[in-house]
Structure 1
Amino acid sequence: MSSSSSKSRISNDLYANKSPGLILGFLMLLNIINMVDRNLLAGFGPQVVSDLNLSDSEFGLLTGAIFVFFYSIMGLVMGFLADRYHRPRIIAVGLVVWSVLTAYSGIAKNFLQLAIARLFIGVGESCLAPTSMSLLSDLYPSRKRGLVSAIYYLGLPLGAGGSFVVAGVLGPKIGWRNSFLIMGALGLVLTLPLLLMKDAPRGREDFIEKSDSGKEGWRHFWETLKQRPALMFTMMGAIFLHIPIGAANFTQIWLVRERGFGASDIATLYGIFFIVFGVLGTLLGGILGDWYNARHKGGRVRLLAIMMLVLAPLLLGYRLVDPSSPFFYIGMCTGLFLMSVFYGPAFSTIQDLSPVRMRARMTALLLIACNLIGLGLGSVITGVVSDLLQDAAVENSLTFSLLAADLMSLLTIPCFFLASLQIARSQVGEVLGNQIDQLPSRGLS
C-alpha cells in the first residue's frame, strides 16, 4: 500500500470515528426544523383557512400538490448533485431557501402568495433527505443503517408533532404569522455549522466493485431499477402508505369541524401524541427492522407488512367511533405509530439495494414516489372528495374522505411482502453464485 493511500485511509477512519454521531444528531435536528416548517401550515389549518378564506380544495393544494410536486422533482436534481458534490454545502443552500420562504409565509395575504411560498419551500427542503441519507450511509455500515435511518427520521414525529404543539402553545399568544417568522429565523441561524462541516469519503463502509466504477449516469440508474424489482416494490409500498399521510394534513380541520374539539386544545394534544407515538414507531421500526433483517432476508420490509396487517383494524375503526371512547385515542395513536415506523426499514432497504454512487438519487426517487404520488394525491383527493360530499349534503364529509385514504394504505401489505421475497431470492442467488465461483475448476478427463 502506498503512503498516500495509507494517509487517506487514516484520515477517513479518523473522520468516521470522531464525528458520525455529531453529524447524525445535527442532521436529525435539521430534519426536525424541516418538518416543523413543512407541517406548520397543517397545524394552523383552521386559523389559516379562516384568515385567508380558503376552500378545502385550496388547502389541499397548499399542503399537497403545490408543495410536494416541486419538492419531489427537485429532489431528484438534488440527489444528482449530492452524488457528485460537497453534501453539507448543498444542505446549507437548501436551508437558506426554505427558511426565508417559511418567514415569507408569515406575511402572505392570499392563496397565491402562500402558494408561491410553499412552492419554494419545497425546492429548498428537497435537498435534505437524499443528501443526508447518502452522507449517513458513508458513515455507518449496513448492519446499523436501519437504526441510523430511524434516528435521522425521528425528525419527522418530533418536527411534525412539534408543529402542532407550536400551533397550540404559541398560536394563541403570538398568532400564526409570527410563528412562521420565528421558525424562518431559526433555520437561518443553523446554516453556519453546515459551512464548517466536512464531507464524508464515499463508499467507505461498502465494498465497491471495479465493474461499478464509472456507472453513475442516468442510463445505468434506470437499468438498476429494472434489474432490482425489490426496489420497485418497496417504492410502491411507500406510495400507498403515504396516501393517508397526505390526507392527514386535514386531521386538525377534521377534529375541529366534525369531532367538536377546540382548535388550540386538540392541536397541543395531537402534537404530543404525534411526538410520543411517532418517536416510538420510528425507533422500534429501526431497531426491530435491523434485528429481523439479521435473521430473515428482506426482514425490514416484511416487518412493515406484518405490522400493517395486525394494526389495520385499529387504524380504520377509530374514524367511526365517538371521541368520548378510549378506542378513538387508541386508534389515533396507532395511526401515528404506523405513519412513523416506515422510515427506518424502508430507507435503509433502499440504501442497501442501491449502488454506492447513486444512493442519493435512489433516495430522491423514493421521495418522489412517497410525496408526489402518495402524499400529494392523498392531500388533494381528500380535499376534493370532501368538497364534493359537502355539495351533495353528506354529513361528516371529511370522515369518509379520510377513511377512504386509510383503506388505500392497506395495499402496502402485498407490496412490502413481495419486496421481501425479491430480496431473499436475490440474496440466495448471490450466495449460490459465489459458491459456484469458489469450486475448483476441473478439466475434462
Structure 2
Amino acid sequence: MDQQKQPSRSVQARILALLLLAYIFNFLDRQILGILAGPIMSDLKLNDAQFGAIGGLAFALLYSVLGVPLAMLADRTSRSRVIAGALAVWSAFTALCGTAASFGQLFLFRLGVGIGEAGGVAPAYALIADYFPPARRARALAIFSLGIPLGLAGGTLIGAYLAAWIDWRAAFLTMGVAGLVLAPIMLLFVRDLPRAKPAPDEQVPLSRAFPIIARKPTFWLMAAAASCSSLAGYGLALWTPSVLERSFGFGLIERGQFLASIFLIGGTAGVFAGGWLADRLGQADRRWYARLPAIAWLITAPTFAVGLLVPDPWVAWPLLLIPNALNILWLGPVTTAVQHLVSRPMRSTASASFLLINNLIGLGIGPTLIGGLSVLFKDRFGTEALRYAAVSVVGFYLVAALLMLLAIKRLRQDWVEEDSA
C-alpha cells in the first residue's frame, strides 16, 4: 500500500472496530452451542456423537468449502459487501437454530450458519491488510482476532443467562436478531479502499493462484500446524462446558461464568501478545512468525491436560487460563505470514485456502472426534468419559508445534515483501 495514500488512523480504527464487532458475532454464534449443550441434548434427545456432529461437521462442511469461492468473489468485487452479506446470512440461520425440533433440523440450520460465516473471515483479513501497513499489520490482525476470545466469552455468558432465564431457544433467537441489526451498519460504514483494476496479465484466477501458494512448503506446514491446533481448540471449546457439568457438577450459570472469565482474560491476552510480539520480533527476523506459535503450543499441551484432570475446579481455573491464552497466540503471526506468501491481488484467496484446510480439519474433526471418543469411552469411564475424551486431543498441540518448527527454516525464503506484492 502506498504510504502517501494510507487512510488516517481514525478511519483505520473505525474499520477495525466494525470488523472486530462482526467477528465477535461470528464466535458468539459458534460458542453459544457449546454452553447450551445440556439443555439442547436433553430437549432433542441427542447423544454425544450426534451433538459433536452438529457442533463440528455440520458447521465445517460448507463453511470450509465455500470460503474459497466467496473470497474470490470478494477479491473481484467488494470485500466489505461480501462481509455484510455473510453476517446477515449466518445471523438468520442462528435465529433459525432456536426453532429446531430435531437432530436433522438443527444439523441443517448449522449448515446454514456455516454458509454465512464462510464469507466473513478471509475478506476481512484482506481488508485489514489493505488498510494497515506491514509494520502494524500483525497487531491489527491480532486485534481483529480478539473477536475469538470476546465472542467465546460473550457466547458462553450470554447463552448461559438467556437459557437460565428463558430457554435455549431464546438464546439463539436473540443472537441471530442482533446480528441482523448489525449487518446494514457494516454495509453503510465499512468500505473497500480504491483498487486499481488489474491488467489482464495481472489477474490471477484460482487455477493459477492456488498452485502458486501450493508450491510453497511453508504454506502446507503452517496450514497443517494450525489445523492440528484448531482440531484440539474447537473441540475443547465446544465440549469443556459439558466437562464442567459432568465432572465438576457446575450448573449452567456457574460454567458460563467460569469459562467466560477464562476466555476473556486468557484469550485476549494471548491474541494480543501474539500480534505485538510478531510485529516486534518479526520485523528483524521473519522466522519469529512461526517460532512464536511453536513455543506457545509446546506449553499449551501439558497445561491443558493437567487443567482438565485436576479434581478441584478452582485449581483447574488458573491451569486452564494458561493454555487458553497460548493456544490462540498463533492467530496474529500466522495469518500475517499467510498474507505474505503471495502478492496483494491473491490475499483473500490465500487466506481462504489456508482457512479451508484449517477449518475442514479443525472444525470438522475436533468436536466430532471428542463426541465420538466420549461414546467409545463410556463403558470404561462412565460419567468421566467426556473428560478423558477431551484430554485425548491435547496431544495435537504437540504435533502442531513440531510442524511449525519445521516451517521456520523455509519462512524467510517463501516470504513476499510488501514492495514486491
Q: TM-score range by the shorter chain?
A: over 0.9
Shift of 1:355: 1.8
- Tell me whether 1:308 sits opposite 2:297 in the alignment: yes
Is residue 199 from structure 1 mapped to residue 192 from structure 2 by the alignment? yes
Which residue of 2 is the match for residue 256 of structure 1? 245
The CA distance in 2 between the partners of 1:175 and 1:325, in whole Å, is 28
Q: Distance in 2 between matches of 1:202 and 1:406?
A: 43
Residue 162 of structure 1, CA deviation: 0.7
* C-alpha distance 110-310 of structure 1, shift in aligned 2 (>3 A): closer
Counterpart amino acid of residue 262 in structure 1: G
Q: Is the 8 A contact 1:133 1:363 kept in 2?
A: yes
Tell me what 2:37 maps to.
45
Deviation at 1:340, TM superposition (A): 2.3
Q: Is the 1:316–1:331 Cα contact (8 Å) retained in structure 2?
A: no
Match of 1:145 in 2: 137
Deviation at 1:14, TM superposition (A): 6.8
Q: Could you say what secondary structure the match of 2:77 adopts?
A: coil
* Residues 138, 201 of structure 1: 8 Å contact kept: no
- Deviation for aligned residue 1:107: 1.3
The 10-residue stretch of structure 1 (366-375 or 132-141) with the greater mean CA deviation from structure 2: 366-375
What is the match of residue 419 of structure 1?
407
**1:268 and 2:268 matched:** no
Counterpart residue number, 2:331: 343
Distance in 1 between residues matched to 2:229 and 2:195, nearest whole Å: 31
Could you tell me how far apart the structure 1 residues matched to 2:61 and 2:327 are? 21
User: TM-score, normalising length from structure 2?
Assistant: 0.93
Residue 119 (structure 1) aligned with residue 107 (structure 2)? no
Q: Post-superposition shift, 1:345? A: 0.9
Q: Residue type of the partner of 1:109?
A: A
- Partner of 1:118, secondary structure, is helix
Match of 1:173, as an amino acid?
Answer: W
The DSSP-based 3-state class of the residue aligned with 2:166 is: helix
Number of the residue aligned with 2:362: 374
Alignment of 1:397-408 (within 5 A): 397-408=385-396
Partner of 1:5: none
Where does structure 1 lack aligned partners over 5 or more consecutive residues? 1-8, 435-445
* Aligned-partner residue type, residue 191 of structure 2: K
Q: How do 1:210-229 and structure 2 match up within 5 A?
A: 213-229=201-217
Counterpart among 148, 153, 171 of residue 156 in structure 1: 148
Q: CA deviation at 1:322?
A: 1.1
Q: 1:112 is matched by which residue type in structure 2?
A: G
Instruction: Give 1:285's aligned residue.
Output: 274
Q: What displacement does 1:170 show?
A: 2.4
Distance 1:158 1:203 in 2: 36
CA contact (8 A) 1:164 1:267 kept: yes
2:6 & 2:373 partners in 1: Cα distance?
A: 55
Residues 129-140 of structure 1: pairs in structure 2 closer than 5 A: 129-140=121-132
Report SS of the residue matched to 1:341: coil
Give me the whole-angstrom Cα distance separating, in 2, the residues matched to 1:145 and 1:190: 25
Shift of 1:176: 1.4
Alpha-carbon distance in 2 for matches of 1:372, 1:311: 22
From the superposition, tell whether residues 425 and 99 of structure 1 become closer, same or farther in structure 2 (CA, over 3 Å).
closer
* Residue 170 of structure 2 is aligned to residue 178 of structure 1: yes
* Cα shift at 1:139: 0.7
Kindly report the root-mean-square deviation, in angstroms, between the aligned alpha carbons of the 2 structures. Answer: 2.4
| Distance in 1 of aligned mates of 2:196 and 2:249 | 53
What letter matches 1:130 in structure 2? A
Specify the SS of the correspondent of 1:396.
helix
1 CA distance for matches of 2:192 and 2:203? 22
Are 2:70 and 1:66 aligned? no
CA displacement 1:192-215 (0-9 Å, x = unmatched)? 2233232113489xxx9x9x9525
Q: Distance in 2 between matches of 1:324 and 1:115?
A: 32
> Aligned partners of 1:31 and 1:289: how far apart in 2?
21
SS of the equivalent of 2:131 reads coil
Give the distance between the partners of 2:368 and 2:299, measured in 1 at CA: 28
Query: Using the alignment, how far apart are the partners of 1:276 and 1:325 within structure 2?
Result: 16
> What count of residue pairs does the alignment treat as equivalent?
415
Amino acid at match of 1:199: D
Report the Cα offset of residue 365 of structure 1: 1.6
Amino acid at match of 1:99: S
**How big is the shift at 1:309?**
2.0
Give deviations 1:389-418, integer Å, cap 9, x for gaps.
114565521122111110122111121112
Give the superposition deviation at 1:226: 3.3
User: How far off is 1:80 after superposition?
Assistant: 1.1
Structure 2, gaps ≥5 residues long? none
Q: Equivalent residue of 1:22, what SS?
A: helix
TM-score (norm 1): 0.88
Confirm or deny: 8 A CA contact 1:282 1:341 kept in the other structure.
yes
In 2, Cα distance between the equivalents of 1:86 and 1:228?
28
Percent of pairs identical after alignment? 30
Query: d(CA) in 1 for partners of 2:308 and 2:382?
Result: 16
Partner of 2:20: 28
Could you say what secondary structure the match of 2:371 adopts?
helix
Cα distance in 2 for residues equivalent to 1:311 and 1:289: 18
Question: Aligned with 1:375: secondary structure?
Answer: helix
Q: 1:77 aligns with which of 69, 76, 81?
A: 69
SS at match of 2:283: helix
Q: Tell me what 2:83 maps to.
A: 91
Look up the SS of the partner of 2:248 in the other structure: coil
Quick one: structure 1 residues 265 and 20, their matched pair in 2 at CA, closer, same or farther if it must change by over 3 Å?
same
